Structure formats: structure tokens, C-alpha cells
Amino acid sequence: MIDHVSIPVRDLAASAAFYDRVLEPLGYKRFAERPASIGFGTKYPELWLNLRPDMPADANPGAHVALRTKSQDAVRAFHAAAVANGGTSDGDPGPRQAAMTTYYGAFIRDPDGNRIEVVTF
């Protein structure tokens, strides 16, 4: 079982503000703040932002993180908040076929290019 995931960001303060807004519909909040990292989660830090100021602006960090939520409304709210706050859509909310089941999900790219998916089963 995975306990937590870290993604790289170039500007910790700007990324934290972005994630404050987009994770709120999922019930996530900030749990930990350190000089070079910030942890978000529902009960403890599950998603960490790690400062990488030297990461090239045009780099694709290659991260793909899927976060589970409880409803299709939360998926849509996450996607809308991301697009409204500087992220880009990488897959509108809707039904998806996974390897073993169907689910409802959406994909975004954060301002650093990290691919974040939100899913509900």
C-alpha cells in the first residue's frame, strides 16, 4: 500500500496556493509545512509538494498521481478549480475504462506539468 506521494514544483508558495484551491473539494487540507515541502491530505500528509527551483520550465516531470474521492461532483469541482486557477485540462470529467473496472474521473496538469487524476468508483 502506498502511504504518500511527492511531486516536484518550481515555486512552493504558488503551487501551495494552487493546491489549496483544487484539493479543497476532495476534503484535503495542509497538514505540514517545511521550508522546501508542503504536505496535503485528509487525515495526514498524503500528497507532498517538494521545491525544485532548478526544474526547467518546459520540463515534463513525468508524475501521474491519482487521488480517490467520494463523488462525481467532487471530481467535477476539482477539475473546474484546477482549470480556473492556472492548471490545464488533460481529460474532462467523465466515465473511464480502467484495466479492471469502470470509474468516473478527470485529469489535469498543474502549473508545473504534473498530471493529477481524480477518481471515484
Digit-coded pLDDT (tens) for 45-62? 999 999 999 988 777 888
How distant, in Å, are the alpha carbons of 13, 56, 59, 68, 91 from that of 75?
Answer: 24, 30, 27, 9, 11
Mean pLDDT of the chain: 95
Q: Which CATH architecture has domain 5-53+63-120?
A: Roll (3.10)
Alpha helix stretches (DSSP H) within 63-117: 72-84
Grid coordinates belonging to 22:
483544487
Digit-coded pLDDT (tens) for 87-97? 999 999 999 99
What is the rounded average pLDDT of the residues 75-84? 98
What is the rounded average pLDDT of the residues 26-43? 97
